[in-house]
């Protein structure tokens, strides 16, 4: 997984140096560890996509469970591969009604699912059900939007 970030007011590049991030000549940093990305976003860093429309994130089983981070200014497209021995758990962030969009695609052909789960720390639902939605077949896609407080909607 590679994510590009740019600093916002009050953020510190030394945090990125310690995380092994790489700074490009354009001032944009590239980070590969999802847990580092989550802590940087919490510290005020902002996701960046050169197109301004879509951010692509590639996830392998080693990152499961993955706590999704979405950018309010673009669609986030996740290409996910489940493990050979277990499902890949993909936790959605808390639903706030922000309109954030995630597109999740299963890339592998093995028998294990990509389990898209409402935030485990809340009572959030996906289409009014507080349970995982599974992507079971290679190349299947789930499109989901943060449609209301506590509610994710498939579309």
Residues 88, 70 within the same domain: yes
CATH code for position 131: 2.60.120
Residues 72, 16 within the same domain: no
Tokens 């200014």 correspond to what residue?
73
Residues 6+ apart with CB under 8 A from 134: 87, 113, 114, 115, 116
Give the strand pairing for 88-91 and 101-106: unpaired
The pair of three-digit structure tokens given for residue 142, joined into one six-digit string: 């789930």
Residues 153, 102 within the same domain: yes
Residues 35, 76 within the same domain: no
Residues 30, 75 within the same domain: no
pLDDT over 80 (residue 16): no
Would the pTM of this model clear 0.85, i.e. be above it? no
Residues 141, 83 within the same domain: yes
- 120: pLDDT confidence band, cut at 50, 70 and 90? confident
For range 32-43, the mean pLDDT: 61
pLDDT over 50 (residue 51): no
For range 33-45, the mean pLDDT: 61
Phi first, then psi: give them for residue 15, nearest 5 degrees: -65, -40
| Domain range for 140 | 50-155
Residues 83, 12 within the same domain: no
Residues 103, 149 within the same domain: yes
Number of domains forming the structure of the chain: 2
- Span 73-95, pLDDT tens digits: 667 778 888 877 788 899 999 99
Write down the pLDDT at residue 138. 93
Query: Which residues in 1-155 belong to E strands, given as ranges?
Result: 3-6, 22-23, 29-31, 46-47, 54-59, 66-67, 75-80, 88-91, 101-106, 114-117, 125-126, 133-135, 141-148, 151-154
Residues 108, 74 within the same domain: yes
Residues 113, 147 within the same domain: yes
C-alpha span between 66 and 73 (Å, rounded): 21
Q: Is 123 exposed, middle or buried (0-12, 13-18, 19+ CB in 10 A)?
A: exposed
Are 129 and 152 in contact, with CB atoms under 8 Å apart? no
Q: What is the mean pLDDT of the chain?
A: 75
Residues 22, 5 within the same domain: yes
Residues 54, 94 within the same domain: yes
């Amino acid at each position: 997984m590679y994510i590009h970030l740019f600093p916002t007011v009050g953020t510190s590049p030394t945090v990125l140096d310690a995380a092994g991030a790489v700074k490009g000549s354009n001032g944009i940093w590239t980070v590969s560890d999802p847990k580092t990305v989550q802590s940087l976003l919490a510290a005020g860093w902002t996701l960046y996509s050169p197109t301004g429309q879509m951010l692509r994130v590639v996830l392998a089983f080693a990152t499961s469970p993955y706590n999704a981070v979405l950018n309010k200014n673009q669609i986030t497209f996740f290409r996910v591969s489940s493990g050979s021995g277990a499902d890949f758990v993909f936790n959605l962030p808390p639903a706030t009604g922000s309109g954030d969009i995630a597109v999740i695609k299963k890339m592998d052909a093995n028998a294990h699912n990509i389990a898209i789960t409402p935030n485990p720390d809340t009572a959030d639902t996906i289409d009014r059900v507080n349970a995982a939605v599974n992507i079971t077949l290679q190349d299947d896609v789930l499109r989901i939007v943060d449609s209301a407080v506590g509610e994710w909607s498939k579309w």
